[in-house]
């Protein structure tokens, strides 16, 4: 029922790198992707890696290496990833604007893990919309994307901003899925 | 930005899961790995190789097409 200890420990390590970055006055990354779903569902969904949206990568690279991470350095492959050799999780840098500039950055949540560790993370509305955009883009509607979106919505329902979620769903699905459509898709089962 | 205390927040999420009857005996499927980018596949392969070089399976499970 609780969040996986190894996942929480990974968040603490990445959070420590973010705090060190902040002390240097550098711009901070934002956690996006499956790890956000794992956090909002307390490990009902399990992610294998951490995607960080970041504009300038060098300072964060320095901090991750200082904390024991290694570059993924397989010859012939694009090197955007890092992994921790003792804890078996990866971090990948993602470039570009947060959800193509459509997300409201003032809604980013700073997850405070300790006095020396914190991580900026996209809010639940953005990750639900992101999952639904990917769900719609997949002709097979495969994987667990709809279930991920449903679980985040159901668990956090009382804290969701309906107006923002409605707008973001329509952003990410080219207007095909509104909040009403989404609620119909997930049905009445709240389990 | 909105600051959230991690331990307080996760306690609330866990309470919500309990109230809804969502158990971790029936976790959501992992990413099936079919949409991994090449760079993500390389990263996951490096993690798996590192763990196996240390004589163990990776702690974080992830589906991906091996490279």
Q: pLDDT digit string (tens) for A40-82?
A: 999 988 887 899 999 999 999 999 999 999 988 766 655 678 9
A107 and A77 part of one domain: yes
A17 and A88 part of one domain: yes
- CATH code, domain with A78: 3.10.450
A30 and A104 part of one domain: yes
> Of A103, A122, A141, which residue constitutes the final position of a domain?
A122
Question: Worst-scoring range by mean pLDDT, A61-70, A152-161, A169-178, B35-44?
Answer: B35-44
A114 and A168 part of one domain: no
> Of A122, A142, A168, which residue constitutes the final position of a domain?
A122
Q: How far apart are CA A44 and CA B22, in angstroms?
A: 8
Question: Quick one: pLDDT at residue A87?
Answer: 85
Residue contact B6–A11, C-beta within 8 A? yes
Question: Quick one: pLDDT at residue A24?
Answer: 95
Nearest CB to A6 within list B21, B38, B59: B59
A64 and A85 part of one domain: yes
Q: Which domain holds residue A166?
A: 125-186
A19 and A111 part of one domain: yes
Q: Is the residue at A144 inside a domain?
A: yes
A106 and A153 part of one domain: no
Q: What's the token pair of residue A34?
A: 């499956």
Question: Quick one: pLDDT at residue A190?
Answer: 63
Domain count, chain A: 2
A110 and A144 part of one domain: no
Q: Which helix (H) or strand (E) holds B2?
A: strand B2-5
Question: Quick one: pLDDT at residue A52?
Answer: 97
Q: Is the residue at A191 inside a domain?
A: no
Q: Is the residue at A57 inside a domain?
A: yes
The per-residue pLDDT for range A13-41, each reduced to its tens digit, is: 999 999 999 999 999 999 999 999 999 99
Residue A169: CB atoms within 10 A of its CB come to 25
Between A162 and B45, residue with greater pLDDT: A162
A113 and A131 part of one domain: no
Question: Where are any strands of DSSP class E within A47-188?
Answer: 49-53, 70-71, 81-83, 90-94, 109-114, 117-121
- Output the CA torsion A6→A11→A12→A16 (10° steps): 140
Q: What is the CA radius of gyration of chain B?
A: 17
Q: Which helix (H) or strand (E) holds B5?
A: strand B2-5
Q: Rounded to a whole number, what is the distance in Å from the CA of B33 to chain A's nearest CA? A: 9
Tell the residue number behind the tokens 């999780």, with chain if given: A89
A11 and A102 part of one domain: yes
pLDDT of A1 strictly over 60: no
A27 and A50 part of one domain: yes
Q: Is A184 exposed, middle or buried (0-12, 13-18, 19+ CB in 10 A)?
A: exposed
A96 and A139 part of one domain: no
Q: How far apart are CA A161 and CA A61, in angstroms?
A: 34
Q: How far apart are CA B33 and CA A75, in angstroms?
A: 22
Question: Quick one: pLDDT at residue A77?
Answer: 58
Question: Quick one: pLDDT at residue A41?
Answer: 93
Residue B2: CB atoms within 10 A of its CB come to 12
Give the best residue of B3, B9, B28 to mutate against chain A (max A CB count within 10 A).
B28
Contact A187, A149 (CB under 8 A): no
Percent of chain A with pLDDT strictly greater than 70: 93
Q: How far apart are CA B46 and CA B65, in angstroms?
A: 13
Question: Quick one: pLDDT at residue A187?
Answer: 86
Residue contact B28–A88, C-beta within 8 A? no
Q: Rounded to a whole number, what is the distance in Å from the CA of A66 to chain B's nearest CA? A: 18
Q: What's the token pair of residue A88?
A: 């078996």
CA distances from A83 to A69, A76, A166, B33 (A): 5, 18, 36, 18
Nearest CB to A46 within list B30, B50, B67: B30
Question: Quick one: pLDDT at residue A142?
Answer: 66
| Average pLDDT for runs of 10 along chain B of length 67 | 93 93 67 78 86 86 77
Helices and strands: H and E segment counts in chain A: 7, 7
Q: Is the residue at A19 inside a domain?
A: yes
pLDDT of A133 strictly over 60: yes
Long-range interactions of A137-143: CB distance < 8 A, separation 24+? A138/B35, A142/B32, A142/B34, A143/B29, A143/B31, A143/B32, A143/B34, A143/B35
């Amino acid at each position: 029922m609780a969040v996986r200890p190894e996942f929480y420990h990974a968040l603490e390590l990445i959070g420590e790198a973010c705090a060190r970055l902040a002390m240097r006055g550098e711009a901070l990354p934002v956690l996006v992707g499956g790890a956000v779903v794992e956090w909002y569902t307390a490990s009902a969904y399990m992610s294998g890696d951490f995607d960080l949206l970041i504009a300038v990568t060098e300072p964060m690279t320095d901090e991750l290496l200082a904390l024991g991470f290694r570059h993924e350095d397989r010859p012939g492959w694009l090197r955007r990833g890092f992994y921790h050799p003792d804890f078996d999780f990866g971090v990948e840098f993602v470039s570009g604007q947060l959800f193509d500039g459509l997300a409201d950055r003032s809604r980013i949540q700073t997850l405070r893990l300790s006095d020396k560790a914190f991580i900026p993370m996209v809010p639940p509305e953005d990750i639900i919309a992101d999952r639904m955009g990917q769900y719609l883009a997949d002709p097979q509607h495969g994987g667990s994307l709809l279930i991920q979106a449903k679980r985040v919505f159901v668990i956090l329902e009382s804290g969701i901003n309906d107006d923002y979620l409605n707008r973001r769903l329509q952003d990410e699905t080219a207007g095909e899925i509104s909040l009403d459509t989404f609620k119909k898709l997930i049905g009445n089962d709240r389990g | 930005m909105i600051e959230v205390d991690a331990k307080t927040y996760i306690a609330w999420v866990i309470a919500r899961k309990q109230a809804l009857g969502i158990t971790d005996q029936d976790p959501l499927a992992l990413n099936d790995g079919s949409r991994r980018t090449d760079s993500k596949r390389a990263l996951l392969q490096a993690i798996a190789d590192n763990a196996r070089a240390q004589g163990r399976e990776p702690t974080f499970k992830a589906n991906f097409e091996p490279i």
